[in-house]
């Protein structure tokens, strides 16, 4: 697995399109402030409404921007009552120190690696986009040799959570909901880092994503995972449905096991 995002420099942190949008929103708010006596910055809730993401997701990305020295946080109290507001603002001069050409280096490198794999003909047959994404996951996602297929919704969803961490590394900020008694996770994927490629070649990008999820779940002991993708349900939004085909242990057998233990 690669290093956590908070160990990376400003250029790598800004490889995420979500973090670039947050920084753009903060910079715009600072530049268009009408009253110079007003506190500088926006709250996480303000930014969540601006970019259309859950406030918890926005706070996660703001923490990365603060750790990279691109954003600073401060507390301001309005009047004498109530809790102070936590405001985020761009660090003065920080953007000038970021190599704009290098902001997307991580994504360009990854795109180059994927293109190289697709162009590589093993035995005269180039791997499919699905196999390309799966191969990346098998090579980069740490496997759990002792992992067995989940027998409860909690076990299954914990593995889906680990897979979400992999998607975070690729620059995604998935929003998850569950259905079918916890057997299916619905992932809303916004601001694809391969958006331009996806518009022209959705089958390629969706295939890579399907392989990435498939390979990651295999590494976590879930080889029997079913994945469905809905590309462009919105201008920059896709939806993935990740389900397990492995039966969960029913409550009757679980109770019987406890009684005989």
The CATH class of 105-244 is: alpha beta
Task: Tell me if domain 5-102 and domain 105-244 are identical in fold.
Answer: no
Residue pLDDT, tens place only, 172-208: 778 899 999 999 999 998 767 777 677 777 888 888 8
Instruction: Specify the CATH number for 5-102; select among 3.40.50.10420, 3.40.640.10, 1.10.10.10, 1.10.150.20.
Output: 1.10.10.10
Q: What distance in Å separates the CA atoms of residue 101 and residue 90, rounded to the nearest whole number?
A: 20
Which pLDDT score, from 0 to 100, does residue 68 have? 82
Which structure tokens are listed for 180? 């079918």
Residue pLDDT, tens place only, 127-177: 888 888 898 888 889 998 888 999 999 999 999 999 998 888 777 778 899
Listed by start position, the domains of the chain span 5-102, 105-244
**DSSP symbol at 39:** P
- Pick the range with the lowest mean pLDDT from 102-106, 212-216, 247-251: 102-106
Angle between helices 17-31 and 44-51 (to 10 degrees): 110
Other beta carbons within 10 Å of 178: 15
User: Which runs of consecutive H residues, i.e. helices, occur in 68-148?
Assistant: 105-119, 129-140
Which structure tokens are listed for 242? 């990740």
Which pLDDT score, from 0 to 100, does residue 156 have? 94
- Please measure the distance between the N-terminal and C-terminal CA atoms of the chain and give it in whole angstroms: 39
Taking alpha carbons only, the member of 102, 98, 165 closest to residue 137 is 165
Which pLDDT score, from 0 to 100, does residue 171 have? 73
């Amino acid at each position: 697995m690669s290093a956590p995002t908070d160990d990376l420099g400003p250029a790598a942190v800004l490889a995420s399109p979500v973090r670039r949008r947050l920084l753009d929103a903060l910079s715009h708010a600072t530049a268009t402030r009408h009253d110079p006596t007003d506190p500088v910055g926006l709250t996480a809730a303000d930014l969540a409404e601006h970019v259309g993401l859950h406030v918890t997701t926005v706070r996660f990305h703001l923490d990365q921007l603060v750790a990279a020295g691109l954003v600073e946080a401060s507390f301001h109290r309005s009047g004498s009552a109530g809790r102070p507001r936590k405001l985020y603002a761009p660090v003065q001069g920080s953007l000038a120190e970021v190599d704009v050409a290098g902001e997307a280096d991580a994504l360009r490198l990854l795109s180059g690696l994927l293109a190289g794999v697709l162009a590589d003909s093993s035995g005269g047959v180039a791997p499919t986009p699905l196999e390309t994404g799966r191969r990346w996951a098998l090579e980069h996602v740490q496997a759990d040799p002792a992992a067995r297929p989940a027998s409860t919704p909690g076990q299954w969803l914990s593995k889906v959570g680990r897979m979400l961490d992999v998607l975070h590394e690729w620059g995604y900020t998935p929003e998850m909901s569950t259905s079918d008694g916890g057997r299916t996770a619905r992932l809303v994927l916004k601001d694809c880092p391969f958006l331009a490629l996806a518009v022209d070649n959705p089958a390629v990008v969706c295939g890579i994503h399907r392989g990435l999820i498939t390979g990651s779940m295999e590494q976590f002991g879930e080889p029997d995972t079913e994945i469905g993708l809905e590309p462009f349900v919105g201008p920059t939004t896709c939806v993935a449905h990740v389900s397990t085909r492995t039966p969960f242990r029913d409550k009757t057998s679980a109770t019987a096991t406890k009684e005989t233990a």
